[in-house]
Structure 1
């Protein structure tokens, strides 16, 4: 009989990504892939094996076409008639971190593992972040 090899040691690194001038969807796919650990040879789909990702300059991300005015984010307050909507332009001005978090969260697996992976994403509107002690590696996205 053969035994299935399952890697046990998943060393999580910290990766820093600058979102300035990046397209939202392309940035989100790269971030989701790193969070899941698909860039590692020890990738296991049912385990937490990805890296921590710090995204800075979230307010300077690009949306192509007419998405700034046509893309709509909706949320439900819990009350009757409490469906609130806002365009991507308003969302980027008010809370740019949530725009990237929303795009990345939709690309992660649904369920317990996806929620645990989502906690490894740190997004900041400006260039400053409090994770300098973790010595994140700068990653250039072309």
Structure 2
């Protein structure tokens, strides 16, 4: 018996648009990560990038529950001594809201070569406008 390996045609990949207004960050990230990965498809294969392209709009209106706006801290290191930079979720949402969603989604994707290939499938925009209308993305409702 031969093992079935699906062949992915670039024409089969669809585009999905998600409105992040009022949706909790974690719930949004899990749905987006599973669509990027392709887990919603019946022929899902873990070692093949077979998911959809996801466009997230209204990133600045994503909801963080509880005290996360002031207690959640994003850190990064510049590489220099004393170069540890910290900012709260409130500051990060004000300065660059798309990075908050990207950070949450990328943490749920696999690490390594496959994960880096999947990173290109996420497009996040702070407002309602996006340049991907030519791909005719379908709306995805998050409950």
Instruction: Give the match for residue 21 of structure 1.
Output: 22
Q: Structure 2 matches for 1:76-95, cutoff 5 A?
A: 76-95=77-96
User: 4+ residue stretches of structure 1 with deviation over 2 A?
Assistant: none
Tell me how far 1:42 sits from its aligned partner: 1.0
Q: Structure 1 stretch 4-13 or stretch 38-47: which is displaced more?
A: 4-13
Q: Could you list the per-position Cα deviations for residues 61-99 of structure 1 after superposition, in whole angstroms to 9, with x for gaps in the alignment?
A: 000010000000000011110000000000000000000
Unpaired stretches in structure 1, ≥5 consecutive residues: none
Query: Which residue pairs with 1:5 in the alignment?
Result: 4
Q: TM-score, normalised on structure 2?
A: 0.97
SS, match of residue 79 in structure 2: coil
1:33 aligned residue: 34
1:9 Cα deviation (Å)?
2.8
| Mapped partners of 2:73, 2:8: distance in 1 | 41
Q: TM-score, normalised by structure 1?
A: 0.98
Matched residue count: 141
Aligned pairs (5 A) from 1:1-142: 2-10=1-9, 11-142=12-143
